[in-house]
Amino acid sequence: MGTSNSRRGRSALAACALSGTLLAGVTLPAGTATATASSSGSAAAASAPSGQGETTLRVKMSGSGVDTLNPFLAFFDGAYDVFAGVYPTLNSLDEQGSPGPYLAESWTQSDDKLTWTFTLRDGLKWSDGTPITAEDAAWTLNLIMTDAVAGTANGSLVSNFESVTAPDATTLVIKTKEPQANVTYVSVPRSGIPIVPKHIWESQAKNLKDYKNDTFPLVGYGPWTLTDYKPEQYAKFDANKDFVLGKPGFGHMVQQSFKSVDAAVAALRSGQLDYINNVNPTQFKALQADKNLLTIQEVGNGWTGLEINYNARTRTGKKIGTGHPALGDPVVRHAIALATDRKTLVAKVRDGLAVPGAGYLPPAWPQWTWKPAPGEETPFDLDQANKILDDAGYTKGGDGVRVDPKSGKPLELRLGIHADDTDDAGISNYLKGWLETVGIKLKIQTLSMSALNSDLAKGDWDLLMDGWTTGPDPTFLLGIQTCAALPKDDGTAGNTDSFFCDEKYDELFKKQLTTFDQAERAKIVGEMQSILYKADVNQMHFNHNMLDVARTDTVTGIVTGQPDAQGMYPAQSYSFWGYLKATPAAAEATAAKEESGGGSALWIGGAVLLLVLVGGGIALKRRSSADDRE
């Protein structure tokens, strides 16, 4: 389901900085305020083949890896994938992104919309045999609410909670300060708060900051039990045969870390790996030809786009940073938008496997999708871009670069891109070419994630490539564009993306939080996206399809949901439902593994590399021998 709100690599780091009131209240589709568990076995995988205790599901660990196994501190996608398997949550999310039962069997909301009562299942046990009670959940949530360290990762999710109590072993009562309809999204697998066993963690609460949580097997509850973990290498799991939402189809699971996706693809091709989530389009198209592989596209749950530093400032309005003053002019920003051909970016950079961007929220969650009205969309029109810049008095200098009439500075802009991102590198080449034709010069700066983040917070940039993914609840992603997300005067606490701050937008943001009608709220969210679109500060380039590959001869059922008419699957909840429902493929399906087309080319490439190395070695060797002879 890809439910995390994560910036590429930046992951949910920003989540901790989310200011307190963002999650004040979110509505659910009508009629789901009270949901009741369907029979617990419904989600279960069908009967697994006998002897499944010996089977192992081998998947690639998320590229970011695991930063820490301490769920109170972790920010990386890889860690969220592990927690989704080994710690329980109050709710699960179904394929449409709606909350379902997990620890909680049912839940009700009081008439004043301030009190939520969850009824927890009876008889569930932690992996060490201790019963799971409401007290575990209450203790976990209270710790995050009261302890700053415990709130590092997920504090913002409970900032509107007044109190959490456990009157008996199966009842959990959550009281909120203001109405908040998305309480059922607070503790969900992967993007929400994992519930930890109180009897294990109580003694660690004081030195939580240093607690690594690496005693194996990890005491938890979920489809899996973590039995071993080596940083940068692997995480090993055993299946929990008594899991309440169904028995995992495999007896064991290994999440293996790979530094390069090509290496993971080679492992997949040679049968050492069963599943990779998120390959690049070139790899995807190459793998489509392989009979042993299932290649699927998910509807994009994120965006890739350009941020413009149009007016970097703090919450009190103090100007910061070194952004180019001309970017404050809407004409320049609109000219940049006019000079960006999104269709070409989709065709060339993502090989056609993406949707040209416009609205701020991604197509994976159609309930929030917004498109500019006909006639309002910004076309690709270099002449028009040139014309509006001419009209606004930006005259071209001798070198073809326009000059800002107000500051007298030439329109030379820095474009920061992620060092390890091929999409960014590709897009920057095209932007540079298009903007050159309208008289704007780009200087590409390849930045590491940490350099990029520190520049962003200080406002020391002009343009940045950026990307975010989001779950079904849009509040977080919308929240990073509010004035409240601007940094404080001391430079802390800001998780803004582009220093965007607009009164009307903020008003609508608050309004949508308290709007309980789904259609009405979608309309408000659409208006917000319209404001963002017209401001040209966050320019969406595309929403790329997520590309997944699985081996058909070793695993079935790892892909969840049904494809639409175009063959696109819904956003995958691979780390929870996918791994849970995956089963070993029938043995007879093991077709002869063909040497795929890339094999010989690899050998040739390797030989060339070897020759170059040997050649270089000879050069060095010769040189040193000449030195020796002196």
Q: Which residues bind to other proteins, rule: CB under 8 A?
A: 261-262, 265-266, 279-283, 285-287, 341, 344, 348, 351, 417, 419-420, 422, 425-426, 428-430, 432-434, 437, 444-446, 596-602, 604-605, 608-609, 611-612, 615-616, 618-620, 622-623, 626-627, 629-630
If the CB atoms of residues 361 and 464 are measured against other proteins, the closer one turns out to be 464
If the CB atoms of residues 111 and 627 are measured against other proteins, the closer one turns out to be 627
Pairing status of strand 293-298 against strand 463-469:
unpaired
If the CB atoms of residues 209 and 621 are measured against other proteins, the closer one turns out to be 621
Question: Per this entry, what is the length of the chain?
Answer: 630
Structure tokens given for 302: 């994120």
If the CB atoms of residues 188 and 339 are measured against other proteins, the closer one turns out to be 339
CB 336, min distance to other proteins, A: 15
Q: 67 Cβ partners below 8 Å, 6+ apart?
A: 73, 74, 75, 76, 78, 79
CB 410, min distance to other proteins, A: 19
If the CB atoms of residues 93 and 427 are measured against other proteins, the closer one turns out to be 427
CA distance 68 to 76: 8
CB 63, min distance to other proteins, A: 13
- In degrees and rounded to multiples of 5, residue 301 shows phi and psi of -110, 25
CB 428, min distance to other proteins, A: 6
CA distance 216 to 228: 6
Measured from the Cβ of residue 28, the count of other Cβ atoms closer than 10 Å reads 20
Measured from the Cβ of residue 408, the count of other Cβ atoms closer than 10 Å reads 8
CB 272, min distance to other proteins, A: 15
If the CB atoms of residues 57 and 265 are measured against other proteins, the closer one turns out to be 265
CB 121, min distance to other proteins, A: 45
Pairing status of strand 568-569 against strand 293-298:
parallel
Q: 591 Cβ partners below 8 Å, 6+ apart?
A: 291, 292, 553
CA distance 80 to 190: 5
If the CB atoms of residues 94 and 436 are measured against other proteins, the closer one turns out to be 436
CB 354, min distance to other proteins, A: 14
If the CB atoms of residues 64 and 160 are measured against other proteins, the closer one turns out to be 64
Q: 190 Cβ partners below 8 Å, 6+ apart?
A: 1, 3, 4, 80, 81, 83, 84, 573, 575, 576
Helices (H) and strands (E) in the chain, counts: 15, 26
CB 612, min distance to other proteins, A: 5
